[in-house]
Amino acid sequence: MVSIVVPVYRSEETLARCVHSLTAQTYQDIEIILVVDGPPDASGILAEQLAGEDARIRVVHQENQGVSVSRNRGIREARGEFIRFVDSDDYVSEDSIQKLVDAMTDDVEFVVAGYDHLYFGRTIPKSPKEVGVFETRRAKEAVLSLYEAGYFNMPWNKLYRKELIRAGFPTDLNLGEDLCFNLQYLQNCKQFCVIPDLVCEYIQDDRGTTLSTKRRTDKIPIAFRLFDVVRGIFGAMYGSDEQVARVLASKLTKEFLDDIEGLAFDASLDKRQKQAVILEYMQARKELAKRCPGAQIVLSQFDYKIIYHFFKKDMLFITYVLVQLRGICVKLLRRR
């Protein structure tokens, strides 16, 4: 049986769509655990109504404690051999779980899949390049590639064996907790499987309406904390060599650039405030260089390369102008 854990908080507009996509699965041996996390809206009432429609749905209520506590509660409540996580504002195709279960053979302990990223009305398919069954301790290249591409950043495109979940989601973080959970779980696996199938419709917008799109003032210290955690895990698994340092430094640099590029869409900050944020990231880049001296920063996207050329030279005004120009181009393309 697959236990599907769905944290429920402020999701009265999306919960029914999410749950109905789960009850419609072609793979029938499932239970759906709705962990109602003390929402201020009618999500909890709706969860109970949905449970009345299908005996496979169970509802667990708790005081508001956050998504990590909710997922950990769902793990404890789960009766299935396998665990799947789904967010209440996302939904899945009817064969989503079947594809994951088919990939979870006797020797496989972790399945990673692709997903559709629904962003600002556009659907962007995200399918892993590294596909196949891998021995974890010998799959350094594949693991680093998946990490760099962001496939360990989320839990909802994966299938886990409950017996191997020895550490839950960290509750002292509210950013990057999924990455920590996935990499700690990966350490417990002898083999994992990567499939190209798109198993979730992940919905995100850039209007600041969700936690993932609201501006975070604590991103830099949390980013370095995660950097240290990931470096320790990869060091234990594969050793701390030049390749690991390059991948870690490049990925964190991309995250810095993502955040400053997002400033072009943030109407809550004026020009001076945006430049102050860019300056903070310029200081963070210097701190990263100290932690990974000599590490080559590899950037694939053209806009990253252009902005980074001036960003690494601390050319604040030019970096700001380029970020604003990129934002204008993106907005024009969206109108087409």
Q: How many CB atoms lie within 10 A of CB 158?
A: 23
Instruction: Give 204's pLDDT tier (boundaries 50, 70, 90).
Output: confident
Within this chain, do residues 6 and 80 fall inside the same structural domain, yes or no? yes
- pLDDT at position 212 over 80: no
If asked whether residues 171 and 231 sit together in one domain, one would say: no
| pLDDT(214) > 60 | no
pLDDT value at 85 more than 70? yes
Least confident span in 14-28, 213-227, 230-244: 213-227
> How much is the average pLDDT of 297-317?
95
Of 4, 156, 43, give the one whose Cα is nearest residue 90. 156
Give the model's confidence band at 57: pLDDT under 50 very low, under 70 low, under 90 confident, else very high: very high
- Note the pTM of the prediction, 2 decimals: 0.90
Distances (CA, A) of 259 to 73, 122, 213, 329: 32, 20, 10, 17
Same domain, 281 and 171: no
For residue 173, pLDDT beyond 90: no
Spatial contact of 15 and 47, defined as CB atoms under 8 Å apart = yes
What is the average pLDDT across 178-193?
A: 96
| 47 has a pLDDT exceeding 90 | yes
The domain in which residue 87 lies consists of 2-204
CATH code of the domain containing 25: 3.90.550.10
Q: Are strands 122-126 and 191-204 parallel, antiparallel or unpaired?
A: unpaired
What percentage of the chain has pLDDT greater than the value 70? 96
Degrees (nearest 5) of the Cα angle 235, 239, 243?
Answer: 100
Mean pLDDT score of the chain:
93
Does 90 share its domain with 224? no
Indicate whether 40 and 175 sit together in one domain.
yes
In a shared domain, residues 173 and 289: no
Number of domains in the chain: 2
Per-residue pLDDT tens over the stretch 244-274: 999 999 999 999 999 999 999 999 999 999 9
Q: What is the pLDDT of residue 174?
A: 79
